[in-house]
């Protein structure tokens, strides 16, 4: 294997290295290209031709669709090592959603032609890809159901806990979504999200300094997320 290849240091290890021999792995290592995106920059555009297999190496992105009026519907938030292209790569020739950087991000891209060639030659890799696709789809479905069974306060609390514990592993973080984007993700109006955040601050659950959120009472926030 090419000693300059750093695949073993990233999440491609679980997807490719454990299922490919050295010759096939050299193809992946020589073909992969890293791309940098600034906050707010579009990484993948709905309707764009699918050319690469893409995973997120660092940063944070949102996956979303736009309706005929231009209103966004956020599908999910992807964190480092998520395979952001898996929802469309084997079912369509074009993307059914867009991906935009919420923070400065780096993607690792591999030509789909190379990946498809390896899939045809390696059943274990094909099964591994199917498993990852199922995991991505399952998580989106479960998160969507979990959010939509809650009332407004519970939805906002659920989202804040997700950023605090799953994304940043800290009780204090810079919220990567605008109030409008939060509303799009939880299926509520921007005004309702702003009011709920104000209520959480008034009740001592949160401290808010512009985009910076500090969870002052995680137990109460979890209770609201569970029963709200």
The DSSP annotation for 32-69 comes to -EEEEE-TT-EEE-TTPBP-EEEEEEES-EEEEEE-TT
Average pLDDT taken over every residue of the chain: 84
- Tens digits of per-residue pLDDT, 5-43? 554 445 555 555 555 566 666 666 667 888 999 999 999
Question: What's the CATH class of domain 150-227?
Answer: mainly alpha
Which range, of 85-89, 122-126, 166-170, 218-222, averages the lowest pLDDT? Answer: 85-89
Give the alpha-carbon dihedral of 176, 181, 185, 187, to 10 degrees.
150
pLDDT value of position 27: 63
Domain locations along the chain: 7-140, 150-227
Name, in order, each residue with C-beta under 8 angstroms of 6's C-beta and a sequence gap of 6 or more.
29
* 56 token code pair: 């997120």
Do 7-140 and 150-227 show the same overall fold? Answer: no
Is CATH 3.40.50.720 the right assignment for the domain spanning 7-140? no
CA separation, residue 86 to residues 155, 189, 223 (Å): 26, 30, 34
């Amino acid at each position: 294997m090419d000693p300059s290849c750093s695949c073993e240091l990233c999440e491609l290890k679980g997807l490719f290295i454990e299922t490919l021999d050295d010759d096939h792995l050299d193809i992946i290592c020589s073909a992969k290209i890293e791309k940098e995106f600034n906050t707010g920059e579009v990484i993948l555009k709905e309707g764009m031709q699918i050319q690469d297999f893409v995973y997120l190496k660092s940063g944070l992105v949102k996956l979303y669709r736009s309706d005929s009026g231009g209103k966004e519907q956020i599908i999910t938030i992807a964190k480092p090592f998520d395979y952001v292209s898996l929802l469309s790569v084997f079912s369509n020739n074009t993307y059914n959603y867009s991906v935009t950087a919420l923070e400065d991000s780096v993607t690792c891209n591999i030509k789909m032609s190379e990946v498809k060639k390896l899939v045809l030659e390696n059943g274990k890799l094909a099964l591994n890809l199917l498993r990852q696709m199922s995991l991505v789809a399952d998580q989106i479905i479960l998160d969507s159901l979990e959010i939509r069974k809650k009332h407004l306060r519970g939805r906002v609390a659920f989202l804040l806990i997700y950023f605090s514990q799953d994304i940043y592993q800290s009780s204090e973080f810079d919220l990567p979504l605008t109030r409008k984007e939060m509303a799009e993700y939880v299926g509520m109006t921007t005004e309702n999200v702003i009011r709920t955040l104000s209520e959480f601050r008034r009740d001592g659950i949160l401290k808010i300094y512009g985009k910076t959120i500090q969870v002052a009472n995680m137990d109460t926030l979890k209770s609201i997320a569970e029963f709200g």
